Amino acid sequence: MVNTVGFGDQITKDNSCKPIVGYIVAQFEAYLQEELKIKHSLFNYHDTRIHACLYFITPVGHSLKSLDMVTMKKLDNKVNSILIIAKADSIAKNELHKFKSKIVSELVSSGIQIYQFPTDEETVAEINATMSMHLLFAVVGSTEEVEIGDKTVKARKYPWGMVQVENENHCDFVKLQEMLISVTMENLQEQTHALNYRLYQCCKLEELIASPSVFRRHMKQKGMHSWENCGRKKKR
């Protein structure tokens, strides 16, 4: 779990998302360097790649902020982005539905990809088909525990009533929790490796091959020039 403290505090939008993108790319690079070792051990390697980005947006205004648009575009092919509407209890249900529809429309028109739940596996197809209807999860958070009957639940109290965090009629917290922990955890990891990381790997290797001097220097750093010396000895 990595918390993005200070996100949005910078003056420019690009500078706000730069540390996030930089961290994700750094984990890809660390994994790539391990792969390129002659004697690598990925089985024992501590994989620090980010498999999901929980991107929280506030239900303020009628659309996404320009900062959110820029950041999600930068994250597009680097991480599985899951959009979450925070403080969902601060907006009426009918307004929340309109807000969700507006955001989905903006994402589509801007060509921004967010994580899609897999529906090709029979065991999770039905659940994920239901999850896909959400695309955005509207959640409420609270550390306050309240007694309701014989149960203790996390909830937020208001003069007009109470919002329970784990009540599916009140917010999507349970659905989000189920999706992350029970249903798609393995798929998120697979998507990271097969799509996001492989794209990074391909681009980096193309850069190395396109620049022979850089490629040779890189190989020497890895001790991979030994085969050349071996070949020369055989010719003699």
Size (the chain), residues: 236
Token readout for 33 is 């360097």
Is 223 among the domain residues?
A: no
Residue 120 above 80 pLDDT? no
How many CA atoms within 13 Å lie on the side-chain side of 157? 7
- pLDDT, residue 220, reads 56
Is 41 among the domain residues?
A: yes
User: In terms of Cα–Cα distance, which of 43, 51, 5, 57 is closest to 191?
Assistant: 51
pTM over 0.95: no
Asked whether 194 and 51 are in contact (CB, 8 A), the reply is no
Range with the lowest mean pLDDT among 42-56, 103-117, 201-215?
201-215
DSSP 154: E
Asked whether 49 and 33 are in contact (CB, 8 A), the reply is no
| Structural domain span for residue 159 | 13-211
- pLDDT, residue 225, reads 43
Is 235 among the domain residues?
A: no
User: Average pLDDT of the chain?
Assistant: 82
Is 5 among the domain residues?
A: no
Is 3 among the domain residues?
A: no
Which residues touch 62 (CB under 8 Å, ≥6 apart)? 98, 99, 102
How many domains, in total, are found in the chain?
Answer: 1
Is 149 among the domain residues?
A: yes
- CATH number assigned to the domain comprising residue 181: 3.40.50.300
User: In terms of Cα–Cα distance, which of 85, 120, 79, 124 is closest to 101?
Assistant: 85
- pLDDT, residue 4, reads 83
For the beta carbon of residue 171, count every other beta carbon within 10 angstroms: 23
pLDDT in tens, 177-216: 988 888 888 999 999 999 999 999 999 988 878 776 655 5
Is 236 among the domain residues?
A: no
For the beta carbon of residue 87, count every other beta carbon within 10 angstroms: 17
pLDDT in tens, 123-132: 555 555 555 5
Which one has a higher pLDDT value, 101 or 208? 101
Is 114 among the domain residues?
A: yes
